[in-house]
Chains A and B, each alone.
Chain A
């Protein structure tokens, strides 16, 4: 059992209010679930056929096989493959929506602009398309055609988006293992088939199939989604704003965007500005849009919209009593939101056909009616503001200044102020000379099983102290933003001497007059593709396999199936990938050993499980030092 619910002071302030207001939170429901089922925790229950459910006795007294004969190894491996496939499905579905948006935008059928022509051309060149003498719309349609062709591929040709973007050395490894995916939809379908009753019973084959799902996720989910979103909405450049619940304004209409896809949230941001006068008429000083989870990260990265909080505290945002409307799209939306909102005036607005919550207002969102839907939502927030009960309002006075918007392009832009001809050189030079020991990407969720945000923050403080540059996305980025690790002061307070010197030099050269933050916010969970791009660029620059680089990944508090698929992708990239919460695989020694050791021999990367943040940082530093040594760098 853990000692504390959160390290976030705003959360600790609001929990007693929640209790007083009679609101049940995720922490209450977690306690009501204790103790959780050991068979589930170990991954040794199977419900794939209705002869079951079956369970394996981990202590060897009871059944050693399910009714069909599947043993613990098979059950654990099958369950994992299904989870990773589900995570990949979420990202591919997200990517598909933005591909569709780019198509309709290029055809002029919807009111979305194609903002970033440079990115469009860059993506097109990467795909091998001829770009000369083509209009923006023509080129966009050709790019879209490539994306659709992957999704409609009937042959054996591997996914084009992967072949065009992944490091060549890695493609060779994946090809040799027979795990190059052909068509994302087909691979996800195949994974469901492969795990039904009477199918694959070879745990090694199942783990390799899991790795293949990681590639589906990485290229047809993450990379495809980010590319499309950058083309449509612009590639992020550095922005300065604030994070944590203290960003909410008592005298403003507070409208929170929550979910993952920027198609809706970008429109909300636009219309909130447009309809500001209506908020003034309602007696407010204006409309404040702020974000939770990754749609929050999307509009933060591109528009400097403040972050309210991350996954685990989504209910507490409503407990402030100051949120007039929370509009949600897809993923990580707690079904409890409407019950919490019922205690206040907050209107929960669902928008997507596959995410409806009883008790919420549903405003159907489509690409064609995006402006109308967004206006309706903003107006609902304004009208809800009129019903706010000032007696119930308590906004914690906790927020941190943050600098975000670090796309690969933005990082290279900052580095170019040091070396305009060869922008990667200053970064590489400092890794080589040891000022920067290595790079760790922290990603993923919060998980109520561990103290909210603590693993993220403990891990990263220890890493930056030891001169490891940290890049972050998703709810990990939120956690680090709230903890003051995404501003110049954070560098002065937490970074080791070598790292501080480098960040200060780049900050000065870029005209900031202060160091870059010790943690670079690279965006949403799909923007883990940016981290992949950075790894790929460094590997290409150094002409080495990415598995050899002093770079590691960590999901300190993973909760979602998406985190498992992102982590699997990181492992296929050859990275040591830390998980701070034990995934449900320990019921099979064979599978657990394969994931944490055996895979390294064939794929370079591995999972590394450590539930203490500081120890995990030390483990990752050890891994980085070992890789430096192999490259002949000082360790």
Chain B
């Protein structure tokens, strides 16, 4: 299955993903119009840093999802068609339980409605994540998990090989 996966060593902390995410969740879907919308659009990806590490974090789409368990109104639910967790906004009562239990802290509050929002993997854009498209260094990838893992193995083996070559 395709997931949004991150090569954090490529993240320069430019926050282009944050901007693209907000625009993707605006009414107009364009930068120049989105900045003037009455209700500012809410981003659902967050570039956080610790020391030298930058990491763009968004909903990890957990299978055993604490946010779904914690939601008493049924707003936070699995979409059976896509297998993604989505927020049924009208059902959200604003209790913020999901915010408290999310281990990644990637559920946001929409200031104007006091309801929650999180990565919906760009449902409005036919599930083509805007954050991935916006990333200038390709730190964010929307990729088959197997493919990502395979390239990780390749990197590992290349490094091992160059170490061997170097020690000859």
Contacts and interface: CB of A to CB of B under 8 A. Distances in A.
B20 A61 contact: no
9 nearest A-B residue pairs (beta carbon): A38-B19, A59-B40, A58-B35, A59-B22, A38-B31, A35-B134, A60-B40, A37-B16, A586-B32
Contact of B41 (A41, A59, A586): A59
Given A38-B16, A586-B35, 9 more contacts: A37-B14, A38-B19, A38-B31, A39-B14, A42-B31, A42-B35, A55-B15, A59-B34, A59-B35
Nearest to B39: A59
20 contacts: A34-B133, A35-B16, A35-B20, A37-B14, A37-B136, A38-B16, A39-B14, A39-B15, A55-B15, A57-B18, A58-B19, A59-B22, A59-B35, A59-B41, A59-B42, A59-B43, A61-B22, A61-B40, A61-B42, A62-B18
A587 interface: yes
Contacts of B31: 38, 41-42
Contacts of A38: 16, 19-20, 23, 31
Interface of B: 14-16, 18-20, 22-23, 31-32, 34-35, 40-43, 133-134, 136
Contacts of A37: 14, 16, 19, 136
B19 A39 contact: yes
A537 B34 CA distance: 44
Nearest to A45: B14
B32 A582 contact: yes
Tier of interface size on chain A: 10 to 19
Interface in A207-262: none
Nearest to B26: A59
Contacts of B40: 59-61
A58 B32 CA distance: 10
Nearest to A586: B32
The listed residue with most B CB atoms (<10 A of its CB), out of A34, A35, A37, is: A35
A582 B33 CA distance: 12
B3 to A, nearest CB: 21
Contact of A35 (B18, B32, B133): B133
Contacts of B35: 42, 58-59, 586-587
Interface string A55-69: 101111110000000
Contacts of B22: 59, 61
Interface in A61-110: 61-62
A539 to B, nearest CB: 35
A561 B103 CA distance: 48
Contacts of A582: 32
B14 A61 contact: no
A579 to B, nearest CB: 13
A388 to B, nearest CB: 40
A58 B19 CA distance: 8
B38 to A, nearest CB: 12
Contacts of A55: 15
A29 to B, nearest CB: 13
The listed residue with most B CB atoms (<10 A of its CB), out of A34, A37, A38, A587, is: A38
Nearest to B133: A35
A60 B16 CA distance: 15
Nearest to A587: B35
A595 to B, nearest CB: 15
